[in-house]
A = this chain, B = another copy of it.
Amino acid sequence: MSDGSLPSSPQIGLFGFGAFGRLIAPHLAAHCPVRVHDPLLPPGPLMPGMAATNLEDAAACPIVILAVPVARMQAVARAIAPHLPRHALVADVGSVKILPAEILCRELPDHVRIIATHPLFGPQSARDGIAGHRIVLCPLRRTRPGAVAAFLRRTLGLDVILTTPDAHDRDAAMAQGLTHLLARILSEMGPMPERISTSSFDLIRAATAMVRDDAPDVSHAIAHLNPHAGAVRRRFLAIAGRIAESDDAKDAAPFPERAFG
C-alpha cells in the first residue's frame, strides 16, 4: 500500500450514514466490502457486501472515508486515530476543504495517508447515478493520487479535478455559496410564479429546488466553514445594492419615450 496503489479489494470503512453516506455506500459496495459506522446505526448487515459495525472495526480498514458533517470532523478524527492501520488512506467528503485538511493533518498519526475530496454531487443531482459527475481531489499527505483517481475515473465514471484546498474553497464560495444564498433569498420571498415564467427563470427555480433540502450541516459548512464565503456574500450584497440604487434612480427619471420613424 505504501506505493500508493490500491489492493484488489480493500475493505472500506465508511463513517457517517447520512444523506451522502447512503448515496455512495452502494457504489462502493459494488467493488469493495464496506463496513459502515454511524452512531445511529445498530451493527448488522445492511446489504450484500455492506455491514454496520462499531467504530474500532470500521477504523481498522485500510481505506477510511469520513462522510460526516465538517463540524464533526475533529471529533471523528480524534476517535478513529488510535485504530487506523499503518499507512491507512483516509479521505473526507466535506463541502469545504481548507478546514477538514487542517483537522485531518493535525489529528491523524503521521503514517496515515490523507486525501481531501469534495464530490460535486448529492442525492438530488445524482439521483440517476453518480457516473459523469465531478469530484475534487486534494492530495494532502503521503498520497500519490494516481490510483485513487484511476478508480474514481474508470470504475465509478467520475470526472476528477485535482486542486488545492484553498483553490477549491475560493471557487466553491462562489458556486455553492451563491446557489445556497439565492435559494434562501427566493425561499423567503415566498411562492414563485410557475406558469408565467421563462425558460431561464425555470432553470433558477430548478437550481434552488436542488439545494433547498440539503442537510442543515451542509448549508452551515458552505456558509460558515469556508473562509472565502463571507467575502463572496458581502460582494454579492454590495453589487446588488449598487444595482438597486441605480435602478431606483432610473425609475425616478422621466419616461424614455422614443420617436418612431
Contacts and interface: CB of A to CB of B under 8 A. Distances in A.
Interface in A113-169: 120-121, 124-125, 133-134, 136, 161, 163, 167-168
A189 B236 contact: yes
Band of interface residues on A: 35 or more
Contacts of A260: 39, 68, 72, 75-76, 79
A192 to B, nearest CB: 6
Copies in the complex: 2
A102 to B, nearest CB: 12
Interface of A: 39, 68-69, 71-72, 74-76, 79, 120-121, 124-125, 133-134, 136, 161, 163, 167-168, 171-172, 174-176, 178-179, 181-182, 184-186, 188-189, 192-193, 195-201, 203-204, 206-208, 210-211, 220, 223-224, 229-230, 232-237, 239-241, 243-244, 247-248, 250-251, 255-261
